[in-house]
Amino acid sequence: MAQQMGNQPLIVLSDESQRTSGKDAQSMNITAGKAVAEAVRTTLGPKGMDKMLVDDTGNVVVTNDGVTILKEMDIEHPAANMIVEVAETQENEVGDGTTSAVIVTGELLSEAEDLLEQEIHATTLAQGYRQAAEKAKEFLEEIAIEVSPEDTEYLEDIAGTAMTGKGAENAKDVLSELVVKGVQSVAEDGQVDTDDIKVEKVTGGAIENSELVEGVIVDKERVSDNMPFGVEDAKVALVDGGLEVAETEIDTEVNVTDPDQLQQFLDQEEEQLREMVDALKDAGANVVFVDGGIDDMAQHYLAQEGILAVRRVKNSDMKRLARATGATPVTNATDVTADDLGDAGSVAQKDIGGDERIFVEDVEEAKSVTLILRGGTEHVVDEVERAIEDSLGVVRVTLEDGKVLPGGGAPETELALKLRDFADSVGGREQLAVEAFADALEVGPRTLAENAGHDPIDSLVDLRSQHDAGNTGAGLDAYTGDIIDMEEEGVVEPLRVKTQAIESATEAAVMILRIDDVIAAGDLSGGKVGEEDEEPAGGPGGMGGGMGGGMGGMGGGMGGMM
């Protein structure tokens, strides 16, 4: 930095920038990556613990969810961030398996560290890892179990496995049923758009009292108290515009010199509103959702006709309403015809958790559903929601792919065995990389055992011998420590959870390993990766910048300690 300014070693870089090369760069990145994995490790599995995360403003999040932890941690180190991306990709593609994916990435880096020390070139490692990953995916396909989209019980097992160890676990049976029902009802040609499943959180009540509304809940109230609270056999109109008259006409054109003239304008306006309401009534609508506003006078007319009207409905809700009821939105209320209307068995204003909302239920084909999640406190409901999101993800993916794997570390153990065999057929030093890959995969079962308080070595030995004997479904029962058939136990996960994890973990590890030069425009030493932070190499002189922000209050004491 500053002291190098005199001899200007690299004129292309500003004096603010930092450069780390070769082995130092590699080991710095590996350390950062491992630290990220370490941060989520203890949360893995049914007996994993939770983390409490507190941000600058004192907001608290209590969670077991890998990707949530990493997102909240505000990680700055660039290599560490690549691992966070692994979790994010996993979250976006599958919704579950984020912790596993991150732990595997960390272990791939850790294994690589040993091999690099043995002078195995990073490129060789990268090739070996890639080869192993390709093979691993093939092996997984081979052992995958087919599941039909109608197999509700099996799907509920999958939903339940994703909830295990999370806030939702206590009510696993109830929630799994709701999740599967929800996903099944919005599925279309084997595809599921998770946007069609809305999750509403309600603080108050027990988790088991959560429910699925097959239809849409609009977070609004009816526009006037004179309208009916509910309508049976609803004929639903959707108006994309508003039920009002553009106000500018009055503002600009009326000079109130002549009271009659004003009256005439008002009459005219009233007439237009009357026409809108008449059109709705003539078409047969008894419920109307409006994207814009509803004029007071229109409200009055609507109430007179017994029509339930809701204004300022969100665009996303309008879409859901259209899908659920089969209504076609119209831009001008005056254009509405009977054909544009949708159907719902019931539309009613109800109270959930002290909030009034409009429930649109009993629709012909609920291509849109709302899951109402209840929980005692806000933090509880928030964590239940995260578990439910994972659960929705795995059921969706299973419906789409139709393939699952046993859980509890079974596939990882199986893969490790098969990859070690495969390694023998790989020549040269890449063989070592393939073996390292196999070892790395076992971090899954090992951590499951550790977190559940069982001896990881014993568990691994037992697992291996079962798989050696051909029991591909043998996994670790986290509750008893026994090795059991996971499929029989109902611990099953979609194939894609594992293939995606292997893919992103490998890509991220390879990318990090291939870096031999880190050129940073700013200061890298302030990275906030857990407690693993090492002091900047620059000695006491470098301390100020690196630690100053986080530990301001301790500044004096720290100096003395060093």
Q: Does 176 bind ligand ADP (CB under 6 A)?
A: no
Residue the block writes with tokens 């608290």:
60
Query: Among 420, 425, 434, 498, which residue's Cα sits nearest to residue 464?
Result: 420
Residues 46-65, interacting with ligand ADP (CB under 6 A): 46, 48
Please name which of 160, 103, 158, 116 lies closest in space to residue 502, comparing C-alpha atoms. Answer: 103
111 binds, among Mg ion, ligand ADP, none (CB under 5 to 8 A by kind): none
Q: Which of residues 410-449 bind ligand ADP (CB under 6 A)?
A: 444, 448
Minimal distance, residue 63 CB to ligand ADP, in Å: 11
Alpha helical stretches, state H, 144-294: 152-163, 172-186, 248-253, 259-283
Q: Considering beta carbons, is residue 167 or 329 the nearer one to ligand ADP?
A: 167
- Report if residue 200 touches Mg ion, rule: CB under 5 A: no
Q: Rank residues 20 and 164 by Cβ distance to ligand ADP and give the closer one.
A: 164
Q: Which residue has the tokens 């052992």?
A: 143
> Tokens 């559940």, residue?
452
Q: Which stretch binds Mg ion (CB under 5 A): 88-96, 116-124, 487-495, 515-523?
A: 88-96
Of the candidates 485, 301, 349, 491, the one whose C-alpha atom is nearest the C-alpha of residue 407 is 491
Q: Is residue 45 involved in binding ligand ADP (CB under 6 A)?
A: yes
Tokens representing residue 115 in the block: 């091999």
451 touches ligand ADP (CB under 6 A): no
Question: What sections of 310-358 are H helices per DSSP?
Answer: 315-325
| From 196, 340, 390, 439, the catalytic residue | 390
- Could you give the CA distance from residue 235 to residue 419 in angstroms, rounded to a whole number? 61
Residue 190 identity (one-letter amino acid): G
Angle at 97 between CA 528 and CA 100, to 5 degrees: 60
407, 473, 527, 546: which one binds ligand ADP (CB under 6 A) = 407
Pick 96 or 317: Cβ nearer ligand ADP: 96
Is 194 an annotated catalytic residue? no
Least Å from the CB of residue 163 to Mg ion: 8
Is 98 a catalytic site residue? yes
* Contacted by 493, from ligand ADP, Mg ion, none: CB < 5 to 8 Å by type: ligand ADP
List, in order, residues 6 or more apart from 320 with CB less than 8 Å away: 196, 198, 216, 368
- Based on the residue annotation, tell me whether 74 is a catalytic residue of this protein: no
Stretch 142-161: interaction string toward ligand ADP, x if CB under 6 A: -------------------x
Q: How many CB atoms lie within 10 A of CB 285?
A: 29
Distance of CA 157 to the CA centre of its chain: 20
Smaller CB distance to ligand ADP: residue 172 or 323? 172
> End-to-end alpha-carbon separation of the chain, Å?
21
Nearest residue to Mg ion by CB is 96
Piece of 30-38, 94-102, 119-127, 202-210 that binds Mg ion (CB under 5 A) = 94-102
Question: CA–CA separation, 117 vs 105, rounded Å?
Answer: 19
Which does residue 476 touch among Mg ion, ligand ADP, none (CB within 5 to 8 A, set by kind)? Answer: ligand ADP
| 3-state SS string for 258-299 | CHHHHHHHHHHHHHHHHHHHHHHHHHCCCEEEECCCECHHHH
Q: Does 93 bind Mg ion (CB under 5 A)?
A: no
| 508 lines the binding site for ligand ADP (CB under 6 A) | no
From 65, 317, 340, 382, the catalytic residue: 65
Nearer to ligand ADP, 137 or 357 (CB): 137
CA distance 111 to 132: 14
Of 63, 105, 110, 164, the residue at the interface with ligand ADP (CB under 6 A) is: 164
63, 99, 325, 413: the active-site residue:
99
**Cα–Cα dist 533/513, whole Å:** 20
Give yes or no for residue 96 binding Mg ion (CB under 5 A).
yes
The residue from 106, 128, 165, 167 that contacts ligand ADP (CB under 6 A) is 165
Residue 471, CA atoms < 13 Å, CB-side half-sphere: 17
Where do we find the tokens 């649109």? 360
Tell me, yes or no, if 173 is annotated catalytic. Answer: no
Tracing tokens 């988790």 back to the chain, one arrives at: 207
227 binds ligand ADP (CB under 6 A): no
| Site residues for ligand ADP per CB under 6 A | 43-46, 48, 66, 96-100, 161, 164-165, 407-409, 444, 448, 476-478, 491, 493
| Site residues for Mg ion per CB under 5 A | 96
What is the set of active-site residues?
65, 98-99, 390
